[in-house]
Amino acid sequence: MLIDTYGRVATDLRVSLTDRCNLRCTYCMPEEGLQWLAKPDLLSDDEIVRLIRIAVTDLGVTEVRFTGGEPLLRPGLVGIVERCASLAPRPTMSLTTNGIGLKRTASALKAAGLDRVNVSLDTLRPDVFKTLTRRDRHHDVLDGLEAARAAGLTPVKVNTVLMPGLNDDEAPELLAWAVAHDYELRFIEQMPLDAQHGWKRDGMITAGDILASLRTRFTLTAEGDEARGSAPAERWIVDGGPQRVGVIASVTRPFCRACDRTRLTADGQVRTCLFAREETDLRSALRSDAPDEEIAGIWKLAMWGKKAGSGLDDPSFLQPDRPMSAIGG
């Protein structure tokens, strides 16, 4: 069991499969990209599967989310999913993606055992998409969403970040579109995860701003804490249901007390929090032929030291020293 000193138990594992991405979102990385991890530093497919097996069979993990960078860029992705689907007990498996490439891979991922996907899409306007991502791939994301739904990777969740002066007026339009297409929309407050450290608290679109905008067009009924459980998103029933919309307010309404996550970076480091500044090395233990029990023990010790909160609610918070693409969203 991955328990910390505050009694929280981590059952949700986020696995970054690569630090690379085929978009250059302004809130994530600079236009020229980043210094990517060298191939020898990345975990191999076998190493990833082994760590997930240890997490599932020895440490009580029940959910696995594959992230990046962009996980669809990982050549062995389908094989990794298939091997993890054969574990006993079988974990629930999902994928967070920008949607580019999902049209050609959705059916194979479903056949391999993937349960569902989260797709990032911040705008319905192709010109705004190009400004935000520095790439003209809006149509590919929409095609990927349709392919995911057709393949049965449901519920298909759409993650949206609103940026001042770019797409901050789109919340009602995005929700109407999501309802019409049977996608579950989740707005995420912009977090300090950009490599160029350009995030400013006083310029972000807050959960309160998002809800006020949505209520100009929809009636929202809070689902409540009991239905939420340890999920990061607060959810509201839209116009009496059955559709729902979520808001992940990591900055203004932190949910650290209910956190059940542990994170594995693409180069084999354990992170107890997305915003942690410390990491614990599992790759060295893997490559020195350490037994499963030793690796599990290192992982347990890392999680035991998890801090009470992310620190995002502190106005003096400093951004992590590694960008989101390197540690997984």
Distance of CA 7 to the CA centre of its chain: 24
Average pLDDT over the chain reads 89
Of residues 27 and 69, which shows the higher confidence score? 69
> CA–CA distance from 242 to each of 184, 216, 238 (Å)?
11, 19, 7
User: What pLDDT is stored for residue 271 in this prediction?
Assistant: 94
CB 213 within 8 A of CB 275: no
pLDDT beyond 70 at 324: no
Q: Tell me, what's the pLDDT at 47? A: 98
94 and 329 in contact (C-beta within 8 Å)?
A: no
Q: How far is CA 72 from the centre of its chain?
A: 14
Q: What is the pLDDT of residues 15-56, one digit of tens each?
A: 999 988 888 777 776 666 567 788 999 999 999 999 999 999
Burial class (CB in 10 A: 0-12, 13-18, 19+), 226: exposed
Of residues 250 and 53, more confidence is placed in: 53
Q: How many Cβ atoms are within 10 Å of 148's Cβ, its own excluded?
A: 29
User: Which stretches does DSSP call E strand in the chain?
Assistant: 12-16, 63-67, 92-97, 116-120, 157-160, 184-188, 220-222, 234-238, 244-248, 261-264, 269-271, 280-281
What average pLDDT does the segment 240-252 reach?
A: 90
196, pLDDT greater than 50: no
Q: Are 193 and 67 in contact (CB under 8 A)?
A: no
Q: Is the pLDDT of residue 311 over 70?
A: no
Per-residue confidence band for 251, with pLDDT thresholds at 50, 70 and 90: confident
pTM of the predicted model as reported, rounded to 2 decimal places: 0.89
Report whether pLDDT(199) > 50. no
pLDDT tens digits along 200-229: 555 689 999 999 999 999 999 999 766 666
pLDDT at 176: 98
Q: What does the alpha-carbon distance between residue 116 and residue 158 come to, in Å, rounded to a whole number?
A: 11
**Is 67's pLDDT higher than 70?**
yes
For residue 325, pLDDT over 60 is answered with: no
| Half-sphere exposure of residue 241: CA atoms within 13 angstroms, side-chain side | 7
Mean per-residue pLDDT, 75-79 = 97
Q: Is the pLDDT of residue 273 over 50?
A: yes
pLDDT of 272: 92
